Structures are given as C-alpha cells and as structure tokens.
Structure 1
C-alpha cells in the first residue's frame, strides 16, 4: 500500500514490548525488506504530537532506500503511559529508544528529533553516543548538563517565553487541558507560527492552519484515548533530569555530523541559542529558515524533507560508502 500522509492507516504500524518492559507503538517503513546494510532513521516527535507529525517525511525518505522508524513517544498514542514520572526522564526514555533499536537489530541510526523529541535526541547523544551515525535537531537547541539545579520557575523568569512550562509542571494542568483538548490542541499547533506578526498587531488570519479535518480527527482520537498525563509528565522531570546527569562525564561526540534546523519566528530557538549550541557542537551545521515557526516538518515539509535528505546523503551515506562509518 502506498504511504499517504492523509491516511494514517496507509503506514506500517507495529506494537512491540521492549527489553525495558515498555510497549511501544511505532511506524516501521522501508521500500522492501531492510537488511544489515539498510540505513535507519529514527524520528522522535515532541509535544503535543504523535508519530503522525513526521507523516510528510516518511515516504520520501523511504524512497531514498532508507528505513524510517517513528515511535509514539512514551505516554503518547498507543505507546505505554506509566504512572511513575521517573519513566519520563530523558535517561529512561533514551534507554527505551536504545532498546527499540535493539529490537530492530539496528546498531546505529540517524536520529532526528523535533521539540521534546529534539531535546530527547540531544540527550540520546549524551547517553548512547555509540548508537548514532548523525543527528538532526529541529527547533530545540542544545542545553548542556547544568552544575546546579535550575527550577522551571527560574527558567521561566530568565526566558519569559517558557512561562507556559510552569503551568504544565503542575498536575492540575492535566485535567484542565483534557477537559478542553480540542481547543487546546488547535492552540498548541499554532504556537510559534508567525508569532511576531500577531504580537505586533498583525491579523490572526495570517496564522497558517497546520492540519486539516482528517489530521484533527486522528489527533483527537489519540489524545482523547491516551489523555494528557503522559505528554505533560515530560515537563515534570526537571529535578530528575538534573540528578541523573549530575557529576556524569557526559559529552556529545565531536566526530559526528550534526544539523540544527530552526525558524526565525520560533522563540524556542534564536540566534543566541544557536551561537551557544555551536560552543558545544562546533561541527554543527545550522539551517535558518526565514519566516518559519515551530512546526517545521509540517509548515515547511518539502524544504525540511529535502534538506535532511541531502545532509544524510552527504554526511552519512558518503561516509559509509568510503568505509569511514559503519551501520
């Protein structure tokens, strides 16, 4: 069946229990049967999204001859949603992702993340550097492990655009958001889209719709079934993440190719953030997308799909062919 971004059922869905004990739902797509020589792309979504956020990229990347694996992240869709918040720390979610690669008999993958998926991807580079061929991060810069704990409230004070996280951290936000999930999901998907024009008095009609009725139906079906507790639990792990990284010799691998794609209208990643990231990842290739917001792989789907494909061909495929990297 041909993969159709408008039809979620046209993709190859799998649901498997990992060695960590978690059951994950994921898309596993490849033109033909994957082998040990097939390049694998592991795509991670953010908040509040599903595997479906990568629907425009999966088919074209498979057409390059690659295997594309896209899980519903922990707490989302048909993937497990544990009660304990500890399960949502980045160390634990990265352990799940490594176990997913083990299940697929994939030693190394190109890891591609957006939003919380990008934040998790950066940490996957810290916790499992031996499982990565290259990495692409969308919308979220790198934040190194901190020497002291910075609370969500303090982070919001330093960066006011992150103020919403103080609400998400509160457990009461789960029930309140669930009670009006349709309204809030529409609002979440507009966050960052032409935000500056709106703040400067531009018409709200300029904010693009990032999903149609079919997309909305699929998201609503999933979020009404699985709820918002899991997705919001990621925002409740600040102290856990600090403790698990404290005193650890965690360093991003300096020899791997890295790309960061960011939109100029997205407050989560600015020129300052990019400059700071380059201090830690000097080999970073940053791609600035003018007049683009947060949901790059949907709003700028063709550009993002092609840019990442070109990066992988140049930095990974060529390296493997030359014998400089192994899958």
Structure 2
C-alpha cells in the first residue's frame, strides 16, 4: 500500500447485480473478521478516481478497518456508458448497494468527497439502512428539490458553480482532452493569497481560459509530477463519463419525485461534514441548511485549506475520521 505505487494496492474488478462492472480497491486489515470488522467505503469526486484516497487507505487499514475505494461509473476501470441518464444519484446508489451485496457487507461507513460526497449523501436517502455512519468532505448536504431548478438558475444564485455550465456541453469532452495536462494543473493548483478567488469557476471563465494561450507555468500543484502523469493516463480520451454527472440535473430531479426517497439522512445516523474554508467551489451558505436538516451533524471547518482535503490536510483527515467513527460506531461493530 504505497501511494507512489498504484499497483501495490489490492485491485478488483467485478460485475455487479445492476449489470455494471466496477473497479475498486479492497484492502483488508490484519485479523479481518467479516462478522465484526467495520468497513469504510470511499467514493471519489471530480476529476478523480480511486487514487484520490491513496494517502488514507493504509493508515485506516492499520487501524483495523477494511477500506473499499471505488472507481465511480465512468471513471478508471469501471464501466463508461455513453448516455448521461446512467449517472444519476439513484443509479449510482443502487450500484453501491450492489457492490456491498457482492462484498457481503450489510452495512458500512460511507465516505464521500465532492461528487462522491453528493452520491454518499444520496445513498443515505435511497438506502438508509445500509450505513453505520456518513462522512461528507467538501460538499454540505443538499436536500431533494421540491421544484425543478435548472443549472442555469442555480448558477445565478451561486456564481462559483458557473464552470458546471461549461461541463454540461458535449463539446467540453474534447476541449478538456486536448488540454488535459493544463486542466489538471488548474484543478490541483496550490492556491496562494487571493489566487483561490480566481474567476475560472464563474460562468464563461473556464472556456475563456482554455481559449487563451497558456503561459510557461508548469507547476503540478498538490500532485507530484508522477502523480500528475498517472492522472493523465487515467483520463486520456475518457472525459465523457466524468462530465456526464454534470448533465443529470433534470434526471436527478425526476427520480427524486419518487415518494420513497428520504428528505434527509435518518435521525440516528452519525454524520460528519468537513469543509475547507478556502474552497471556492463549496457552498458554505448551505451549512445552516445541513445543520437544520441533520441536527446530529458534526461540522469541521478547516482554516487555510481548499478543495482537496485528502491531500492538503491528509494527516487531519487520516486522524479525524477514525476518531469520529470510534466515538460513534467503534472500530469493530457487530451487525
């Protein structure tokens, strides 16, 4: 389990009962007991894949947890259907439940970052009895909408979501693939001073940036050059699946009109939310909504940290989440 050597982790690829094939890392602790050991199931965001959790897997396994880290649909070694309708939160939640069935896990601690955070919280609404605890990184809880609100209207309220309008366009696939290294250097850049307030997240910002000639800057930010290259190898000619999540606004609303979906995680579910205070894409105004809808939530706001919590403050993440689980679930839990 060496973060610098992706092949050192235990990789698996399995066909789920939902008919989709998923790649995931499945790391067992010493003296693993399927009847009592607690499993942490981690779901990555955009643009990421299982590798985004590379610095968390070994420390958590050494604490006695089984750690399962998926490549979400459309990413890495998992299936990559073409149509955006396959990428809705209900379908992904059903895939997660099917993966747990395959692994014979009645329940698990579900941990998500970014889009994975949204999917983890939706999993808590669609499959509430499958969670021991819920951990959300970077994205506050957003309840199912009572009325359809287009992405354009959402961006009017939250301008820092403007980049999502660009991601909705099919032409964005090739636009990013043509400048893949530049894109990942932008996404994983180290923010200094007020740089985190740059306009690329606002409407038209990313498209304008891509249209301009790139300067000599070649800093790979929070990634080493080797890590940067590994990301490029996984996303080359493969942006359609990752971007499809941004094309599901209408699909997600329609599936959540189903009366069976909960409006918030169940009241007895332990919930932890960790947000970097310097994250320009995080809707921190939603923290009050999270507190209202999930009264039991514990919220940590991390000073001087942006979006990539698992990299920027990995020691804190590696320690804080197990402490939360230990206090609320325990290292070993009989199911």
CA distance in 2, matches of 1:318, 1:67: 10
State yes or no: 1:58 paired with 2:67: no
Q: Deviations over 1:16-52 (max 9, x none)?
A: 1000111100000012345221110000000000100
Which secondary structure does the structure 2 equivalent of 1:6 belong to? Answer: coil
Going from structure 1 to structure 2, the CA distance change for 1:255 and 1:15 (only over 3 Å counts) comes to same
Residue in structure 1 matched with residue 306 of structure 2 by the alignment: 293
Q: Deviations over 1:167-225 (max 9, x none)?
A: 1011111111111111111112238x45734549xxxx9x992110111121111111x
Aligned counterparts, 1:262-301, within 5 A = 262-269=275-282, 271-301=284-314
Which secondary structure does the structure 2 equivalent of 1:317 belong to? Answer: coil
Instruction: Report the CA distance between 1:274 and its aligned residue.
Output: 1.2
Which secondary structure does the structure 2 equivalent of 1:306 belong to? Answer: helix
Which secondary structure does the structure 2 equivalent of 1:73 belong to? Answer: coil
Q: Deviations over 1:236-273 (max 9, x none)?
A: 00000000001524232110100000011013335422
Going from structure 1 to structure 2, the CA distance change for 1:30 and 1:194 (only over 3 Å counts) comes to farther
Gaps of 5+ in 1: 321-325
Going from structure 1 to structure 2, the CA distance change for 1:241 and 1:194 (only over 3 Å counts) comes to farther
Residue in structure 1 matched with residue 91 of structure 2 by the alignment: 92
Residue in structure 2 matched with residue 323 of structure 1 by the alignment: none
Aligned counterparts, 1:11-160, within 5 A = 11-32=9-30, 33-160=32-159
Residue in structure 2 matched with residue 240 of structure 1 by the alignment: 251
CA distance in 2, matches of 1:233, 1:293: 24
Provide the TM-score with structure 2 as the length reference: 0.89
CA distance in 1, matches of 2:323, 2:94: 29
Deviates more, 1:245-254 or 1:90-99: 245-254
CA distance in 2, matches of 1:220, 1:316: 38
Which secondary structure does the structure 1 equivalent of 2:34 belong to? Answer: coil
Provide the TM-score with structure 1 as the length reference: 0.91
CA distance in 1, matches of 2:132, 2:87: 25
Going from structure 1 to structure 2, the CA distance change for 1:198 and 1:279 (only over 3 Å counts) comes to closer
Gaps of 5+ in 2: 199-216
2:222 aligns with one of 210, 213, 217: 210
Aligned counterparts, 1:248-263, within 5 A = 248-249=259-260, 250-251=262-263, 252-263=265-276
Instruction: Report the CA distance between 1:84 and its aligned residue.
Output: 2.1
